[in-house]
Structure 1
Amino acid sequence: MQKGMKIAIVDDEQDMRQSISQWLALSGYDTETFSSAEDALKNLGPEYPGIVISDIKMPGMDGMQFLKKLMGTDSALPVIMITGHGDVPMAVEAMRIGAFDFLEKPFNPDRMTELAKKAANARRLTMDNRQLRRELSDGSQLMKKLIGNSPTMERLREDILDLGQADGHVLIDGETGTGKTLVAHALHAVGARAGKKFVLLSCGAMDEARLEKRLFGPMLPEDSQLPAIEEARGGTLVLEDIEKLSETLQSRLLSVINEQGTPAETRIVAISNLQEQNKTCEDALRPDLFYRLAALRITVPPLRQRGEDILLMFTQLSEQFADEYGCETPNVTAQEAAQLLQAPWPGNVRQLINVAERAVLQSRRGSGTIASLLMSDHDEMQPVMTTEGKPLKEYVEAFERMLIDNTMRRHKGSIASVMDELCLPRRTLNEKMAKYGLQRQDYL
């Protein structure tokens, strides 16, 4: 079943429209039917959340003309064409124009369902990618992704807003999995270059010769891309794994930076993922390049320093995965909340995402615990805990906030329902919500 995925069925024959619609509805699709291409076009825009199945031979605007119109509106919209027997050349022409695939009459309904599933998956990927691109160009949306109320996260958001408005080069460092690339996107999106090019290049993803060509050129005539330095001109060039640059490439990059002058024509945001013990990015780069890149610097805090933000993020991630898998959000006990707060999180946010998804899958099966997901790879018998203890009061308050927050979400802001479930009088609930900064209108 494709949740939220529509299928527009276009055919001038009512019996054919109804039979296709009924069959696909049984497979869980939301179908809508149109008796003509003209009617369908009134309802199918570039953001149509689904796919199209259309007959080729129809009075008025035929399927081929209809297909051309659709491709002109949204070339990534999957259109499955239904052809009569012997119309294979026409079907081939439809594929050339941009059809996703075709079905020849009489067709097997299972074959139609299989094609619809493939087309729906392709459409979902297209829509997800478009949404991601919109989010990556929207500074306010990106800042919302940097979840947390802890002082470290408040400071991180302030640094991004401040440095986003500046125009110098930036060095972003921090442990693996902390969200450094997301911070780089946010820096671009909240600054004056937001409408300009954003180019991301991993310095550790290719050998030196390929990296040099991709970064500086020259590109061959048959290459579709400009060198990254040229491609990002006027915008932002993000260099992940900056410490992987060889001495030669470091020298070339420094020359480019020096040639640009101030303000820089292309802003360079360098991301360091250096994980070697007792070694920093400053050790890995030549001093003159390091100081040019680190004139402005952001260190993304590790998850273990974000306090009760861990519970807030775990709750939101669990809700997202529960919605995706069509099941209930798992309940978190006080002991499990303490374990989440105590865990060292070597994989940081990336690890938390993984744990939240697995917790939802475990809950759906009715087995497993969060503690089991936090087991050390090196000690399968003992849960990994930090050596940095916290006062009991902090654990209790973090769990209490999470519990009220979860209950308010579940009851969509109904104070009476929350009071009943948590056995709290109205005044006590109001005091605790005020204490933890929870507002009823956020849950309505």
Structure 2
Amino acid sequence: MAKAMKIAIVDDEKDMRQSISQWLALSGFDTETFATAEDALKHMGPDYPGVVVSDIKMPGMDGMQFLKKVMGLDSALPVIMITGHGDVPMAVEAMRVGAFDFLEKPFNPDRMTELAKKATIARRVTLDNRALRKELSDGSALMNKLIGSSPIMERLKEDILDLGQADGHVLIDGETGTGKTLVAHALHAVGARATKRFVLCSCAAYDEDELASRLFGPVGEGMDQPLLEYARGGTLVLEDIEALSAALQTRLLAAIDAQGSPAETRIVAISNLQEQGKSCEDVLRPDLFYRLAALRITVPPLRQRGEDILALFTRLSEQFADEYGCEAPEVSAQEAAQLLQAPWPGNVRQLINVAERAVLQNRRGSGTIASLLMTDAEDERPVMTTEGKPLKEYVEAFERMLIDNTMRRHKGSIASVMEELCLPRRTLNEKMAKYGLQRADYLAQ
């Protein structure tokens, strides 16, 4: 359950502060009171976890000056201003400066509660979106699943952040197993619709009549509304969009046009078209394609992500090792090179399978990572990609993985890592800086 948001009450009159505080506390809010704007500002910051209720007329720094200071700290922090009778022009000016709303004395307590609820909902959306945006850039929490710091993955994360804030329909394409559905989740999570419904529907999972019923109605058993209506205000993800029949493409186009702009329901279409030489543009009617592809993201294949492959393998093998109660396999320089060179036709999905099997092999004390990358049982050569990479890239990727693994194992103990890797302190520091590794990231593990 979400923690109750704070409401900072700023008023020089003690009775008014206490009255507002008691009323809002009874309504379920966590309140804190301040007699002066100066005192309140000491407790404010860009990510203050709540909203502000402030009187306009106060000695020292008045409400308008306070509002401008707060807007300077965080322009998205909701501030509800309380005005005296006849101060409506001042309240209008406060709205222009950035106030969330205003109440005129004497005010109805229920109206105060109503405004406080609206303000805290708006604030929670803002803070949640900020947290998700930070997770995207930091690669933590939800975005741990989008592991990688290669240039192509950094661009993907930037695209998610940018298009997530836009409101147009989106087409996501890319090879099978690259994580297109995860990207759709991320687009929704960092956008203005994050608090609304996120609905998934595979167009390839139903016959034409059933899919038509699910999308447009009349709905069958177990459904109250067609999905386009159920997802109103939120995001509807249509996986395998290329499976739509011509008739359903026509109906979807009509539904999109009927919504107008901005769209009531944002459509994120995912193309899994694997037919050689064909794209989603070839199988969708042009007018529908261009509406869905107003914004477009192509998720990169694993083989193009360089050292991300080793970072992913390390993370996945550690997770499976925890699950199976055993040690994660040590990766040799040769095996690291083989992981980097493999073509990965199944992309991340295939890497997950290889990591799990590698952990199970290691638990039994037999088998190698290389054996999992063979073309078949009779061919002793590991499958190699035709996309050659300079030796320097393999060496750096392995070196980064080795330092990362050792830091994890020793929980950030620099002395232990120096001893195991036979590296002087300065050299280790230089290499950690080069590869973007920070000791603080390992201390809490």
C-alpha contact (below 8 Å) 1:250/1:286 kept by paired residues: yes
Alignment of 1:87-102 (within 5 A): none
Give the aligned residue type for 1:361.
L
Which residue does the alignment assign to 1:175?
175
Q: Could you give the per-residue CA deviations for residues 208-250 of structure 1, whole angstroms, max 9, x where no partner exists?
A: 1111111111125x54331111110111000000000000000
SS of aligned partner of 2:149: coil
The 2-side partners of 1:248 and 1:382 are apart by 49
SS of aligned partner of 1:255: helix
Structure 2 spans left out of the alignment, 5+ residues: 1-127, 136-140
CA distance 1:282–1:379, shift in 2 (3 Å): farther
The 1-side partners of 2:223 and 2:201 are apart by 16
RMSD over equivalenced CA pairs, Å: 1.7
Give the aligned residue type for 1:211.
L
SS of aligned partner of 1:173: strand
C-alpha contact (below 8 Å) 1:217/1:227 kept by paired residues: yes
Which residue does the alignment assign to 1:197?
197
C-alpha contact (below 8 Å) 1:241/1:272 kept by paired residues: yes
Q: TM-score if structure 1 supplies the norm length?
A: 0.68
Which residue does the alignment assign to 2:187?
187
Alignment of 1:121-140 (within 5 A): 140=135
Q: Could you give the per-residue CA deviations for residues 56-110 of structure 1, whole angstroms, max 9, x where no partner exists?
A: xxxxxxxxxxxxxxxxxxxxxxxxxxxxxxxxxxxxxxxxxxxxxxxxxxxxxxx
C-alpha contact (below 8 Å) 1:202/1:240 kept by paired residues: yes
Structure 1 spans left out of the alignment, 5+ residues: 1-133
C-alpha contact (below 8 Å) 1:199/1:237 kept by paired residues: yes
Give the aligned residue type for 2:356.
E
Deviation at 1:383, TM superposition (A): 1.3
Which residue does the alignment assign to 1:280?
279
Deviation at 1:406, TM superposition (A): 0.2
Q: TM-score if structure 2 supplies the norm length?
A: 0.68
The 2-side partners of 1:375 and 1:207 are apart by 38
Deviation at 1:375, TM superposition (A): 1.3
Deviation at 1:138, TM superposition (A): 5.7
Q: Could you give the per-residue CA deviations for residues 314-352 of structure 1, whole angstroms, max 9, x where no partner exists?
A: 001111111111111110000000000000000000000
The 2-side partners of 1:229 and 1:254 are apart by 12
C-alpha contact (below 8 Å) 1:215/1:229 kept by paired residues: yes
Alignment of 1:241-390 (within 5 A): 241-377=240-376, 380-390=379-389
| Corresponding pairs, count | 309
CA distance 1:291–1:355, shift in 2 (3 Å): same
Which residue does the alignment assign to 2:114?
none
Deviation at 1:379, TM superposition (A): 6.6
Does residue 239 (structure 1) correspond to residue 238 (structure 2)? The answer is yes
The 1-side partners of 2:344 and 2:143 are apart by 22
The 1-side partners of 2:314 and 2:147 are apart by 11
Which residue does the alignment assign to 2:421?
422
Which residue does the alignment assign to 2:94?
none
Give the aligned residue type for 2:152.
T
Does residue 210 (structure 1) correspond to residue 184 (structure 2)? The answer is no
Deviation at 1:437, TM superposition (A): 1.2
The 2-side partners of 1:152 and 1:338 are apart by 20
C-alpha contact (below 8 Å) 1:143/1:157 kept by paired residues: no
SS of aligned partner of 1:443: helix
Deviation at 1:376, TM superposition (A): 1.8
Deviation at 1:431, TM superposition (A): 1.3
CA distance 1:151–1:429, shift in 2 (3 Å): same
C-alpha contact (below 8 Å) 1:375/1:384 kept by paired residues: yes
C-alpha contact (below 8 Å) 1:142/1:182 kept by paired residues: no
The 1-side partners of 2:430 and 2:143 are apart by 29
Alignment of 1:141-160 (within 5 A): 141-160=141-160
Q: Could you give the per-residue CA deviations for residues 396-416 of structure 1, whole angstroms, max 9, x where no partner exists?
A: 111011000000000000011
SS of aligned partner of 1:372: helix
CA distance 1:379–1:217, shift in 2 (3 Å): farther
Larger displacement relative to structure 2 (290-299 or 374-383): 374-383
SS of aligned partner of 2:159: helix
* Identical pairs, percent: 82
Which residue does the alignment assign to 2:164?
164
Deviation at 1:378, TM superposition (A): 9.1
Give the aligned residue type for 1:389.
G
CA distance 1:341–1:325, shift in 2 (3 Å): same
Give the aligned residue type for 2:240.
D
Larger displacement relative to structure 2 (415-424 or 369-378): 369-378
Give the aligned residue type for 1:295.
A
Deviation at 1:206, TM superposition (A): 1.0
